[in-house]
């Protein structure tokens, strides 16, 4: 039985998808001149600018593409059940039993800025980790501000309350 579930805001999904397609278009526009410049390569120092653009576009596609993939399984970010939790991942909703959830990291509020601002990071056992934006296995995470009617602080409090519930 579902105790609580959280859905993503649809406009955030549209925004992330548009950024993803914008960066794909940007990659096509920037790579065609870079390839012709590589064909006329005269010095080794000429390769720095195309290499820089390749890295920037790759990072942008990884970040925006990953966050776009999280919205695909029916737009649901998180489901809290009596005996397990279901978390969004790029491959669909991942079922994690209560004993596999170790807790929820202290969320960094989005107004404080920083690398992890606005993220809800659920600490899980190593066998329940999901694939991250760069291909490594990481703890499930999503932006708390992209959930309807919630922010990162309230979601973390609800996950911690669910984990500490004694009735299961």
Name which residue leads in pLDDT, 166 or 127. 127
What is the DSSP code (8-state) at residue 109? P
Shared domain for 17 and 66, answered yes or no, is yes
Mean pLDDT, rounded, of the chain: 77
Angle between helix 48-70 and helix 10-39 axes, rounded to 10 deg: 160
Residue ending a domain, choose from 54, 70, 86: 70
Shared domain for 33 and 83, answered yes or no, is no
Class of residue 104 by CB neighbours under 10 A (exposed 0-12, middle 13-18, buried 19+): buried
Residue range 48-94, pLDDT digits in tens: 767 777 777 777 777 766 776 777 667 788 889 988 999 888 888 88
Name which residue leads in pLDDT, 14 or 50. 14
pLDDT at 22 over 70: yes
Residue ending a domain, choose from 53, 70, 87: 70
Tokens 């601002």 belong to which residue? 117
Shared domain for 22 and 64, answered yes or no, is yes
Shared domain for 31 and 83, answered yes or no, is no
Shared domain for 81 and 158, answered yes or no, is yes
Shared domain for 62 and 105, answered yes or no, is no
Say how far apart CA 63 and CA 130 lie, in whole Å: 15
Domain that holds residue 21: 10-70
Q: How many helices (H) and strands (E) does the chain have?
A: 3, 9
Helix extents (H) in the chain: 10-39, 48-70, 152-164
Shared domain for 138 and 62, answered yes or no, is no
Tokens 């649901």 belong to which residue? 76
Shared domain for 93 and 24, answered yes or no, is no
Shared domain for 106 and 147, answered yes or no, is yes
Residue ending a domain, choose from 43, 70, 97: 70
Residue 138 zone, left/alpha/beta (φ > 0; ψ -120 to 50; rest): beta
Shared domain for 82 and 110, answered yes or no, is yes
Closest Cα to residue 141, out of 104, 112, 113? 104
Residue range 104-132, pLDDT digits in tens: 876 665 555 556 667 888 999 999 998 88
Shared domain for 81 and 99, answered yes or no, is yes
**How many structural domains is the chain composed of?**
2
Q: What is the pLDDT of residue 114?
A: 58
Shared domain for 102 and 52, answered yes or no, is no
């Amino acid at each position: 039985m579902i105790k609580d579930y959280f859905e993503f805001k649809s406009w955030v999904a549209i925004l992330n998808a548009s950024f993803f397609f914008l960066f794909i278009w940007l990659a096509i526009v920037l790579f065609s001149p870079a390839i012709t410049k590589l064909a006329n390569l005269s010095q080794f120092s000429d390769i720095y600018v195309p290499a820089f653009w390749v890295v920037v576009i790759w990072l942008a596609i990884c970040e925006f593409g990953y966050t776009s993939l999280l919205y695909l399984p029916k737009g649901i970010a998180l489901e809290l059940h009596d005996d397990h939790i279901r978390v969004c991942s790029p491959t669909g909703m991942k079922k994690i039993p209560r004993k596999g959830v170790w807790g929820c990291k202290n969320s960094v509020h989005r107004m404080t800025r920083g690398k992890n601002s606005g993220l809800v990071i659920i600490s899980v056992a190593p066998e329940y980790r999901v694939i991250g934006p760069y291909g490594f296995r990481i703890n499930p995470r999503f932006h708390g501000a992209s959930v309807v009617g919630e922010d990162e602080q309230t979601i973390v409090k609800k996950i911690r309350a669910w984990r500490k519930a004694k009735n299961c």
